[in-house]
Structure 1
Amino acid sequence: MQRPCATAEFISYEETIPSLLKNIGAPELLRRQQRILIKPNLVNASPPPVTLPVAACAALVRACRQWSDAEIIIAEGTGEKHLTTDEVFAIHGYDRLAKEEGIELVDLNEAGLIELRDPRNKVFPTFMMPRLVMESFVLSAAVLKAHSLSTVTLSMKNMIGVAPPAYYQRGGHWKKSAFHKQMQSSIFELNRYRKPDLAFIDASIGLSDYHLGGPTCDPPVNKLVGGFDPVAVDAVGSELLGFPWQQVGHIKMADGELGRADSFPPIHE
């Protein structure tokens, strides 16, 4: 049976990720997929825990491959202004992972696009979305981090990486700067167009104050979080950082529409 959300004590990526995915009932669903797109948080060239460790992504790839014959792709669109996504992949060792596992790396900043429309949206009534994202099973692989504008950056905010800079870099030093003006609503509206099919948060360490550096959580959070409800998964992540989910705008907006924030298990189960 598929579970909306579960947590696991972190031992190692190789051991804990398969155990967590089994716990939420992932094998059965992954087995039915034709293409699995793993979208790691590689916002820039900074090392983990700003970005997702390549070891975590490797464990996700191997778990998916264990249960599914689907094509597996790692896809990201970095926000780093002066580097391409391919350069960021190489800095973090994802090029070596792709070669070892025989999988493709895709730069979503340069991918083919389709135009989507949702008249309910105020910030993004239309959105230019990579076609590949709409045609794949999306696993959003986030890192547990606080954020100055969105309070937290977790599996739903991780989806900002899909936004093509040709349309969403509007000044500033970030390739997705259009999201800055109304960050909470922007995240929610983006996820209306495409929310993760499977949400994962590496909460083994955690950044307590700032998503691009600063102090790590002390002590380390030492958990992994996953589930098929990104709202519940992000609610858990928010609580692990000490923020009640009701105080996080995009989680509160998404609650009841994109998932249920209250459907998570006790954090210390």
Structure 2
Amino acid sequence: MVAAVNPDGGWGYTAGTASHPEPTCLALLALSTAREPFAQPIANGLAALERHRQPDGGYQLAGARPEAGWPTAITLFTQLALGAGPEQVKPTVARVLGTESRAVEAVPETADMENDIDLSLVGWPWAATNFGWVEPTAWACLALRAAGLELHPRVQQGLKLLLDRAFDSGGVNYGNRVVLGTATEPIPGPTALMLLAVQGAVAHPRVDAAVGYLRVHAAKSNDLDHLAWARIALGVHDADTATRELLPELDKKVAALAADPTITVHRLALAALAVAGTNPMRLRYGAHPASPLDATAAAPPAAGGGLLAKVATKFRGAMVAGLGALKPLPPTSAVHIARAASYDEPLAEVLAAQFAHFRPHLPLAGKRVVLKPNLVEYRADRVINTDPRVVDAVITLCKQEGAAEIIVAEGPGHWRNVEFLVRESGLGAVLDRHGVRFLDINHDEPVKVLNLGRLTKLDHLYMSRTVLGADVLVSLPKLKMHHWAGVTLSLKNLFGTLPGICYGWPKNELHWRGIPQSIVDISCTHPAHLSIIDGIVGMEGDGPLHGTAKHAGVLVMGLDPVAVDATGARIMGLPPERVPTLVYAAAKRVGRIAEAEIPQFGEPIAAVAQTFALPPKIDRELLPPPKQTA
């Protein structure tokens, strides 16, 4: 781990990438368990953290989204664990106290949550002016408790929020127990952080249940991220014999997984922290009311940035509207549908025949190509992700076409250990065989770009530098229904091109600003150049995660993402004119939606169309059916 340090003394998420507060803090916490031999790397790491310090006492990646101040609490905890004095951290304490999550408004999407969780509780968000989530709230409570502010009202309410979000049966996820009437599932990482935050402060059945959940999950997990966090949290909640007996076994599992030379720096630091002889995440309980750290909360930044900022926003809006009216449509809106009965067919040959129709408009020879599959979560019993055999075939196509470089990239909103998803899904074996590298977009360098859609009212978006630097961006979605968007195809797939370090996990701010609006903003700003839908086996019903597998036996390809998605919707039996994303995107000239304007190659839609079961309660998300003309 020390060998992976950057020249500035900090650590990046992966070797050779820019230092970021989160992996730097995890590395410092691990080194703090053996301070004497690592005194110099610790001093250098603390100095590196100071380069991320903001004038208001907060900490965040330099040049990243200003609202994304979530690393502040992690940094505060690390500084305190390494012996920082009260005056040194006082501005940072004030910054943490001054950051509040916003209340959730009563809208149809929250109807099922209002009876399940207390939406009035104020916690901490991933990004300023957003909603409270388990992980940033847990880090804030942990840091403030380490600062001696056990009895501060913000801490007490934060702990209450964490317990409110936990399942009676054990564990917690990012914050919702129920979505549209369907129970969600706990996740080990957030569960561990919740347990660390409440240690010694709360006696509650949900705490005991969370310990039990974490113990059971850790015993059978091979996800290093989950195992390491479980080991750290269970090392604090080790009062029962079953937990104490499990810890040595977890040490062995973590050490074995961390020995993999491909493990990222971020997870190597986490593993080192997990198996260290002492646990710096264990708090010394007790509040200190007279502490000089009982600081007044720092005032949050003024909303809107003042009159000058509002004038600039209006000017940018007018400029973007003018540019939008001049936006050229894709070079062709033709779509090719090919039959593929199974993933065992020669898919590369099928794709090559399809691509022959589009090569004149999009030659790949000599190009840097980024492939963006849909890789959300791994469940062996569910058809959630783009099948790796389709990705395999697309890589083969790119090689045959003479692409100079091929990168597969994804930034899931629900699972932080993307390397685990890549390995378990089978995609890792495909990439190894082809010698193609994978990039975790969530940790990629963010680039501030003008939002050319502006349906979300955001002036700018922060996008992956790797994605923006591609000559050709290929969207590789799964043919799926979506319980909020109606369908999740090539346009929705681009949610994963925005880094989590700017928008959090999940990227829920984009949901609350409007899923169709966010999708269209992303696609207006940086659309895919080529879209290929994996429709061999899709998902009907409660997609994108909890639906049922549905065989459709097709691959759909085109250069116009709206036309491709409209065709995909028609194949699933959902009129695209009812899907807000497609209607709004067509209005913004991202592509064409009318069937008469989409030249059809290969199989006709009628020959392959299916009737996919719709998601529950989807009617309230869809537009009214188009009126029939006499």
* Secondary structure of residue in 1 paired with 2:605: coil
Measured in 1, the distance between the counterparts of 2:489 and 2:376 equals: 12
Give the alignment partner of residue 132 of structure 1, picking from 445, 454, 466.
466
Give the alignment partner of residue 74 of structure 1, picking from 408, 411, 426.
408
* Secondary structure of residue in 1 paired with 2:477: strand
| Larger RCO (alpha carbons 8 Å, 6+ apart) | 1
1:5 equivalenced with 2:335 (yes/no): yes
**Are the aligned partners of 1:149 and 1:180 in contact in 2 as well (CA < 8 Å)?**
no
Match of 2:510 in 1: 179
Give the structure-2-normalised TM-score: 0.40
Match of 1:250 in 2: 581
Measured in 2, the distance between the counterparts of 1:195 and 1:49 equals: 26
Judged with a 3 Å threshold, the aligned counterparts in structure 2 of structure 1 residues 39 and 92 are, in CA distance, closer, same or farther, namely same
Report the residue type matching 1:61 in the other structure: I
Measured in 2, the distance between the counterparts of 1:166 and 1:97 equals: 27
* Secondary structure of residue in 2 paired with 1:221: strand
Match of 2:322 in 1: none
Match of 1:267 in 2: 605
Unmatched tracts of structure 2, length 5 or more: 1-330, 608-630
Give the alignment partner of residue 190 of structure 1, picking from 522, 544, 550.
522
**Larger Cα Rg: Structure 1 or Structure 2?**
2
Deviation at 1:49, TM superposition (A): 2.7
Measured in 2, the distance between the counterparts of 1:226 and 1:73 equals: 19
* Secondary structure of residue in 1 paired with 2:338: strand
1:141 equivalenced with 2:476 (yes/no): yes
Q: Which runs of 4+ in 1 moved over 6 A?
A: none
Unmatched tracts of structure 1, length 5 or more: none
1:90 equivalenced with 2:420 (yes/no): no
**Are the aligned partners of 1:146 and 1:153 in contact in 2 as well (CA < 8 Å)?**
yes
Match of 1:207 in 2: 539
Alignment of 1:8-47 (within 5 A): 8-11=338-341, 12=345, 13-22=347-356, 24-26=357-359, 29-47=362-380
* Secondary structure of residue in 1 paired with 2:548: coil
* Secondary structure of residue in 1 paired with 2:538: strand
**Greater strand share, 1 or 2?**
1
**Are the aligned partners of 2:383 and 2:548 in contact in 1 as well (CA < 8 Å)?**
no
Measured in 1, the distance between the counterparts of 2:360 and 2:395 equals: 13
Report the residue type matching 1:40 in the other structure: P
* Secondary structure of residue in 1 paired with 2:362: helix
Match of 2:561 in 1: 230
Judged with a 3 Å threshold, the aligned counterparts in structure 2 of structure 1 residues 28 and 254 are, in CA distance, closer, same or farther, namely closer
Q: RMSD between aligned alpha carbons?
A: 2.0
Judged with a 3 Å threshold, the aligned counterparts in structure 2 of structure 1 residues 90 and 27 are, in CA distance, closer, same or farther, namely farther
**Are the aligned partners of 2:477 and 2:493 in contact in 1 as well (CA < 8 Å)?**
yes
Report the residue type matching 2:478 in the other structure: V
111-120 vs 222-231, greater mean Cα deviation: 111-120
Task: Give the percent of matched residue pairs that are identical in Structure 1 and Structure 2.
Answer: 27
Measured in 1, the distance between the counterparts of 2:455 and 2:562 equals: 21
Measured in 1, the distance between the counterparts of 2:555 and 2:570 equals: 13
